[in-house]
Structures are given as structure tokens and as C-alpha cells.
Amino acid sequence: MPIKNRFAELQPEIAEWRRHLHENPELLFDTHETSAFVEEKLKSFGVDEIATGIGRTGVVAVIKGKTNNSGRTIGLRADMDALPILEATGLDYASKTPGKMHACGHDGHTSMLLGAAKYLSETRNFDGTCVVIFQPAEEGGGGGKEMVDDGMMERWNIDEVYGMHNWPGAPVGSFSIRPGAFFAAADQFEIDVEGKGGHAAKPHDCIDTTLVASHIVVALQSIASRNVNPVEQVVVSVTSFETESKAHNVIPQKVKLRGTVRTLDDDVQDLAEARLKKLAETTAEAFGAKAVVNYERGYPVMVNSEEQTEFAAKVAINVSGDCADAPLVMGGEDFAFMLNARPGAYILVGNGDTAMVHHPEYNFDDEVIPAGCSWWAGIIESRMPAA
């Protein structure tokens, strides 16, 4: 099942959809215009059922095959939301909303799944039911969890679910995947450090929170270097250091640290959380200060099911001729919630030599569209072959 001619024909139209979405980015659950656009297209394709408001602003559509002897239902998921980034691409179709940008390619994911939905609605050359899932709030909002919590899997009796993400640096239209743990659990923390503020010329009369917080930042790096087994993965990154004073001659009373912890194993996640709290609190105490830690668990580890990963790779090989072994990724992905609810797999499709995702100069490559759409369609037609 190589790239389908129909998707080569549809590529300019799908690219137009993608560029419209790129011009009109929306964040988190505030994807009202994007969801309406998706709903309008699905209606024009003649799908059998459309439901909106799933997971607040998610859209779900049902496409029935010519037959349903298998009784099987497969879900295909694309994310719709953008990022709070000021675009710097200079494209003719750049974001019309300053400070919002499709910097992760969700415009491409949504458009490719729409393209696959159009084709599958035309052909219906499969035995079973296809459910296409358009999800809001992947970028930190947990839209995948909300759609699952809304009963999506049970309402449409979804047996398996598949997802896709573009991957800059890999050849356009190439694929890679791995079974088991794939994307990391993504936790976040805040540490409030309080000491004794005062005049910068009299540090001996103060408890310097800037110094204390700096020692905490350094101490937290020992979690990866001295607490976790070197063959296991953990990332602890302090990403924000805020003092309550911006003056040159003031030692601040309070400092706030923010950051993230990424792990690929539940035990390592537990260890990292415990050590982070202990190191912050005891380091501050050693200086006579106080540290209060707020640690929040975010997206869980995203785990590909063995059987579905093998199948997804075969479909990718049929499309592009190859499917590479994907690396472990320490980024988070809330498709993890759907894979916790049902077996399935998540695959990467090459976006070529472009800026990395979450970069202000990133752009989804429209040449990826035929390969991505062909993989979506191949999942349905190969997993549920026509009787």
C-alpha cells in the first residue's frame, strides 16, 4: 500500500486547509474556530456521525465501512491546538494572531486526518468502523485525558487507537516507531524559597534567597547524576528563577523556581519527586531559609502496545518502504491517556530539514501530507480489510 494516488490528488486541497489553520491558531481548549472548521469539513465529507464538545472542544466523527462483520472499531487521533509563541517564519500564511503559532505541526496533523477522513468516507473499503478524533489542548492542557474522561472510548466502543506526530530532522514522509515506553512522563514543580531580605551591602544581616535558590538549582542536578541508575532516564530542568525584587541593591525576601521533571519509569518518577522535595527543603534549611515545594504530576509515560506497534510499522513500510527504530523521547505527549485506556500505537513521520518543533521559525512541510494520509488510511484498510 504505497502512497495513494488519491492523496497526491488531494494534497493541494489539504495543504490549503493546513495553511488556513496555520493562519488562525488557537490555544489549549480555546479551539472553537478550529473545531468548527473541522466539523464543517467532516459534514461535507458525508461522515455517518459527528459529535462536538467531547473533552470541552474536541470533535469526534464516525465513518462506517461497507461491512461490519469484524465488529471492530478503530480510533485515529490528531491534535488541534497551537502554542503561545510569536511566529518568525515570514510566511504569507503566518499567524494572524501575535503571540500564537502552530509551532508543533498540529495544523498538519489535523489536516492530514481530515484528508484521511475524506478518502475513507469516499471509499469505505473496510470492514468495521473508523472513529476520527480531533483533540484540543495537547500542549499542556490534558485534552486527551478530558476526552477519555468524557467516556469517548466507551461511547463509540473503540478497540484500538493510533496517533501520529511530525518529526523535524527525519526525511520527509519517512516513519519511525518503537514499542513500549516512547514519550516521557512530564511533571512540573514550583519551589518557593523564603529567607530574610535586606540591603545588598549588608548580606550578613540577611538570609540571601538568591544564594539559597542557586544552591537548590545545583543540588537538583544530583538527582540525575547521583540518585538514578545511569541506565535509566531522567531530566530535571529548572526553567524559571524569579526574585521578588529587580533592584541592584536589594537582597530579596522571596525567590520562586519553576521547572519540569521527565521520566520513563514509574519508580524513577517516584524517586525523582521524593528527592526533589528533600533536596530543596534541606538545602534551604542549611542556610536558615525555608523552601516549600509544589510538585504536580502531568502527562504519564506514553507506552506503545507491542502488537499494535508492529502492525503500525508494517503499514508505514507499505507506505514509504521503511520504518526506522525511533529514539526515546523525553518530551511529553498526552496521547498517553488514550493509550492507557486502549491498546494502540503512536508513530513519527519525517518533516525534513526544518526548524525543530516549538521554535518560532518552525513550519509543517506540506510535502508530508500524502505519506501521512496514506498511513492513516492504511491503518483502517489493513486492520479491518474489506470482507
DSSP-assigned letters across all residues of 25-94: --BTT--HHHHHHHHHHHHHHT-SEEEEEETTTEEEEEEE-SB-SS--EEEEEEE--BBS-------TT-
Residues 62, 201 within the same domain: no
The Cα–Cα gap between 177 and 349 comes to 9
* Chain mean position to CA 203: 45
Residues 59, 175 within the same domain: yes
Beta strands in 265-318 (DSSP E): 290-299, 302-304
- At residue 363, the pLDDT reads 98
* Cα maximum dimension of the chain: 83
Q: Are 137 and 53 in contact (CB under 8 A)?
A: no
Cell numbers placing 370: 500524502
pLDDT tens digit string along 121-146? 999 999 999 999 999 999 999 999 99
Which positions are annotated as active-site residues?
81, 138
Burial environment of residue 81 by CB neighbours within 10 A (0 to 12, 13 to 18, 19 or more) = buried
| CATH number of the domain that residue 197 is part of | 3.30.70.360
Residues 283, 366 within the same domain: no
Cell numbers placing 318: 507499505
- How many DSSP H helices and E strands does the chain contain? 11, 16
Residues 114, 232 within the same domain: no
**Which candidate, 385, 375, 384, 387, places its Cα nearest to that of 119?**
375
**Which candidate, 83, 73, 58, places its Cα nearest to that of 148?**
58
Residues 157, 218 within the same domain: no
Residues contacting residue 292 through CB under 8 Å, at least 6 positions apart: 191, 192, 194
Residues contacting residue 13 through CB under 8 Å, at least 6 positions apart: 115
**Which candidate, 349, 385, 368, 354, places its Cα nearest to that of 174?**
349
Q: How many domains is the chain built from?
A: 2
Q: Are 234 and 186 in contact (CB under 8 A)?
A: no
Residues 20, 163 within the same domain: yes
- At residue 9, the pLDDT reads 95
- Reported pTM: 0.95
pLDDT tens digit string along 37-86? 999 999 999 999 999 999 999 999 999 999 999 999 999 999 999 999 99
Residues 102, 204 within the same domain: no
Q: Residues of the chain whose pLDDT is less than 70?
A: 1-2
Residues 30, 116 within the same domain: yes
Cell numbers placing 12: 493541494
162 CB-side CA count, 13 A: 28
| CATH number of the domain that residue 78 is part of | 3.40.630.10
Last residue of a domain, one of 299, 329, 362: 299
* Chain mean position to CA 288: 41
The Cα–Cα gap between 98 and 78 comes to 24
Cell numbers placing 147: 476526552
Cα R_g (the chain), whole angstroms: 23
Residues 225, 344 within the same domain: no
- At residue 4, the pLDDT reads 81
The Cα–Cα gap between 321 and 325 comes to 14
Domain limits for position 215: 185-299
The Cα–Cα gap between 95 and 86 comes to 9
Last residue of a domain, one of 254, 269, 299: 299
The bridge status of strand 302-304 relative to strand 180-183 is antiparallel
Last residue of a domain, one of 269, 299, 329: 299
Residues 142, 224 within the same domain: no
Residues 86, 210 within the same domain: no
- At residue 3, the pLDDT reads 75
The Cα–Cα gap between 120 and 268 comes to 43
Residues 314, 169 within the same domain: yes
Helices 5-23 + 369-383 axis angle, to 10: 120
